[in-house]
Structure 1
Amino acid sequence: MSTVDLVPLIDEGLGNSAYLVDLGDGRALVVDVSLDLRATQQAARRRGLTVAFAADTHLHADFVSGARQLSATEGTRVLASAAGHREFRHTGLHDEDEVDLGGLRLRALATPGHTHEHLSFLLLDGDQPVGVFTGGSLLVDSAARTDLISPERTEPLARQQYASLRRLAGLPDEVTVWPTHGAGSFCSAPPGAQRTSTIGAQKATNPLLQAEDEDAFVAALTGSLGSFPDYFLRLAEVNRRGPAVLDTDPAPAGLDVARVRALLAEGAHVVDVRLVPEFAAGHIPGALSIPLRPVFASWLGWLADPERPLIVVRGDEQDPAEIAWQATKIGFDNIVGELRGGMDAWTADEQDITATRLVRAEEINQQNVLDVRQVPEFAAGHVPGSTHVELGSLTDHAESLPRAPTVVMCGHGERAMGAASVLERAGHRDLSVLEGGPDDWAQVTGRPLEHGV
């Protein structure tokens, strides 16, 4: 069987994979790359490649596509569905259209479902199919969600997804499956799944391909849909119109204390990206806690207001470029700067600070317990009697929650501190954050966790 020199470019935070394919003549194809092109460009430079083609399987909702940026800065030819009606230069492809990559060929396969204009791309060496880039259609042991367009389109798209998966299942068993969405994606990839597979393996293991009929498939797919960040509803249109081309790498400007205070008075918000213990020890009143880690972009997009200017507070060791790129790749171009000198500068200027108490599992007594994990996590085991509100929807419920001593918890503490910061901004007081999660509580108390919702 033919082999292809392919480099997966994994975004652990968003749970996605892009792919760079060495075409063997100094050129490369990339598939589903985000606007944060650092890994793509590094991989291409390391191999001495020019990115000649950039294919997008669909109008992405969870990140800003990097295809237009590559087209504008490197002359890359963009390949995408004609049904997407993109408003920038690209080659619009229809079902069964082929593109000669120079030795290899790329065949477009219409696979609607995740989106109405979704294409999978079958990579062929001569007439031999080697692998298929399935985007948000066939995933490893799953299929991507169909509810990102509108509620009334969810079921019709799920029925199209059924047909699309069966079309892909008709490819030869040895064909490699290269999905975009993987473990950690809010587009419905199951946790812990491998990121690639084969058609034969998926026919044997993917429960959605085992569905008895179309109705059973639709019930299984739509019944497993969890929540997702609001920015998912905006980015597809950004990607259709064409993201703005960056002239320089994003970087937050340094702001002194006086300027930060002035911006806050005008309605700006602070996003504090420091580690949980540092935020707990002291932070600017009203600051939103989103620790800088791989999933930073998702929670920024879920919790921060895209219409308000954002000011970053970070630790000395944290990379401002990483913060800026994570925001940029989800379309958050409203970071106006960072507090120069961090919290040391703020306290040196004798400005007010707020602290949030950290507690251990054995310190939970008569307080309310608020669990902010996702529904499946909560159902798998939680402290008996705890209240459950997902962090992503907490802003909408903050006013209705009791203003009583409350311990906020998640799995490790990062989301719980984010939740506490949301509640503090809404006027809640006497909050504390659990260091750890429900398993720590069960171990310390010797009591069983409660299951279900």
Structure 2
Amino acid sequence: MTPALEDPMRFADDHLIPLVDAGLGNSAYLVDLGDGRALAVDACRDLRALRAAAERRGLTVAYAADTHLHADFLSGAVQLAHDDGAQVLASAAGRRAFPHVPLADGDETDLGGLTLRALATPGHTDEHLSFLLLDGDHALGVFTGGSLIVNSAARTDLLGAERAEELARAQYRSLRRLAALPDATAVWPTHGAGSFCSAAEGAERTSTVGAQKRTNPLLAAPDEDTFVRRLLAGLGSYPDYFDRLAEANRRGPAVLSAAPLLPGLTPAQVKSLLAEGGYVVDVRPAAEYAAGHIPGALSVPLRDQFATWLGWLLPDTAPLVFITGEGQDLSEIVWQAYKIGYERLAGRLRGGMAAWPADGNRQATTAFVTAERAGQRPYVDVRQEAEFAAGHVPGAVHIELGGLADRAADAPDGPVVACGHGERAMTAASLLERAGRTDLAVLRGGPDDYAAATGRRLVEGTGR
């Protein structure tokens, strides 16, 4: 054993490259095996960052391991097998319908000096594996996927609410198994802060077994029942597209022969697509959407969380037309859509929003106001329940953005719609406008700004 491999932290510094997707709250990993080959763990279909990291080190991906059938993104393993000849390593219990090495508990893969051992850790999913990376008998780290994550554990309700408790009990046993590894073993989870697969807030995305035994409140649970109560109590809503992707990953995403494109469309072509059941998605900043947009367009500003809201609010079966702003990265739109299985991208309005009225078409506007100008309007808060409970405007009507399309009638007349900064609120306003509401405004800011402007103190709790 070399000194570099004796210390898990030094190994990580020298050989492990985390690839963080801030929008989905996930980490993939590229492991430099030291001989020009690499192991990829939980790589998503958007392989741009992984490719760049591999190219910098002159690596070819020889192995692509998936800890579970992901619900929040399409796996990149099939593409890596096609492009690099990577051997796909995954759970035999997942019944994947494409070539892979089916692994059961205790199975080992020789990586050429290092060994990857599969550990059955069900809970987040039935077929979940963790992968223990070994140098001889020495544990370097464990890729825990959606099992043990930093100061938490991943949600157990993705296979249906009726199975959430059963899987939470399996998660309890899985975390206890991982906690039995040596304290110095590095913990390399897939899900992290910002993931709707349920992760605690915080900046740390990796840890050690010993640190988690000291700080993870779920590992501190005195018994199984307490663990289950704590885990289930922390489950919030999750995007609708999660219900589709596990099966898509079991079948295997289609191999892409080239980077997808976003062709330019004329206003006439856009109108034709709308008439055929398509959607217009306006990815410009909220202020630009407010100043003028195509009636009925959905505002989803292009940012890290773009894929989440695209997949939560729109079907994957209808053609999508995008309205883009100057300088926006078209490839970012395409890859964020493709990594969650949205491939019916018809194109973008050529010439941007200015081309729409120039062609004689009507555009709509939305009031985007500061807290001082919000007046006495009813306040609609579209943040997640945990955010709302942490502090909200007294008397606010709470309707999560993800459920707003079905609850538009619950919004009061003439509201100011608000979130934390304004992006989600503008999306909410566009949904309400699609439902026929034109009597609204969007708050430029969040509850703290509103409280400061009105002299009202925020209150905590859900009010239930």
TM exceeding 0.5: yes
| Secondary structure at 1:209 match in 2 | coil
CA drift at 1:166: 0.1
Could you tell me which amino acid in structure 2 is paired with residue 431 of structure 1?
L
Structure 2 distance, partners of 1:324, 1:158, is: 36
Give the partner amino acid of 1:332.
Y
Residue 415 (structure 1) aligned with residue 424 (structure 2):
yes
Partner of 1:441: 450
| 1:21 partner amino acid | V
| CA distance in 2 between partners of 1:260 and 1:174 (Å) | 57
Alignment of 1:150-229 (within 5 A): 150-229=160-239
* Residue aligning to 1:388: 398
Structure 1: distance between partners of 2:179 and 2:203: 19
In the alignment, residue 438 of structure 1 is paired with which amino acid? P
Instruction: Give the whole-Å Cα distance in 1 for the aligned partners of 2:203 and 2:34.
Output: 31
> Does 1:51 find its partner at 2:51?
no
Q: CA deviation at 1:446?
A: 2.4
Q: Deviations over 1:117-175 (max 9, x none)?
A: 00000000111110000000000000000000112211111000000000000000000
Q: Distance in 2 between matches of 1:188 and 1:417?
A: 25
Q: Tell me how far 1:452 sits from its aligned partner.
A: 1.2
In 2, the alpha carbon distance for the partners of 1:90 and 1:143 equals 27
Answering whether residue 255 of structure 2 is matched by residue 238 of structure 1, we say no
SS in 1 for 2:115: strand
Tell me by how many angstroms 1:347 deviates: 1.5
- Unaligned runs of 5+ residues in structure 1 are none
Deviations 1:369-418, CA, capped at 9 Å, x for gaps: 1100001111111111110000000011013433x211000000000000
1:325 corresponding residue in structure 2: 335
Give the match's secondary structure for 1:343. coil
- TM-score using structure 2 length: 0.96
What is the match of residue 79 of structure 1?
Answer: 89
Q: Which amino acid in structure 1 is aligned with residue 109 of structure 2? A: V
Secondary structure at 2:409 match in 1: coil
2:51 matched to which residue of 1? 41
Aligned counterpart, 2:29: 19
Q: Distance in 1 between matches of 2:32 and 2:55?
A: 12
Q: CA deviation at 1:350?
A: 1.6
Per-residue CA distance 1:269-290 (angstroms, 9 max, x = gap): 1000000110000000000000
Identity of aligned residues (%): 66
SS in 1 for 2:81: helix
Aligned partner letter, 1:437: G
CA contact (8 A) 1:141 1:193 kept: no
> Is residue 140–residue 193 contact of structure 1 (8 Å, CA) maintained in 2?
no
Structure 1 distance, partners of 2:305, 2:371, is: 25
2:124 counterpart (114, 123, 136)? 114
Matched positions, count = 452
**For 1:399, what is the secondary structure of its paired residue?**
helix
Paired letter, 2:448: D
Structure-2 separation of matches of 1:365 and 1:61: 42
Distance in 2, matches of 1:52 and 1:138, equals: 26
Q: What is the aligned counterpart of 1:89 among 96, 99, 114?
A: 99
Paired residue type of 1:412: H
Secondary structure of 1:208's counterpart equals coil
Shift of 1:304: 1.5
The answer as to 2:277 corresponding to 1:267 is yes
Superposed CA RMSD: 0.9
Which residue of 2 is the match for residue 378 of structure 1? 388
Give me the TM-score of the superposition, normalised by structure 1: 0.99
Task: Select the residue among 278, 303, 313 that pairs with 2:288.
Answer: 278
Q: Which moved more, 1:292-301 or 1:2-11?
A: 2-11
Letter in 2 for 1:72: H
Counterpart of 2:453 in 1: which secondary structure? Answer: helix
Structure 1 residue 193: Cα displacement: 4.2
Other structure's SS at 2:63 match: strand
Deviates more, 1:366-375 or 1:33-42: 366-375
Deviating more after overlay: 189-198 vs 82-91: 189-198
Map residues 292-441 of structure 1 onto 2, 5 A cutoff: 292-402=302-412, 404-441=413-450
C-alpha displacement of 1:254 = 1.2
Tell me which residue corresponds to 1:9.
Answer: 19
Conserved? CA contact 2:393–2:456, under 8 Å:
no
Indicate which of 59, 70, 74 corresponds to 2:80: 70
Whole-Å Cα distance in 2 between the matches of residues 40 and 364 of structure 1?
45
* Contact 2:68 2:128 survives alignment (8 Å): yes
| Aligned equivalent of 1:134 | 144
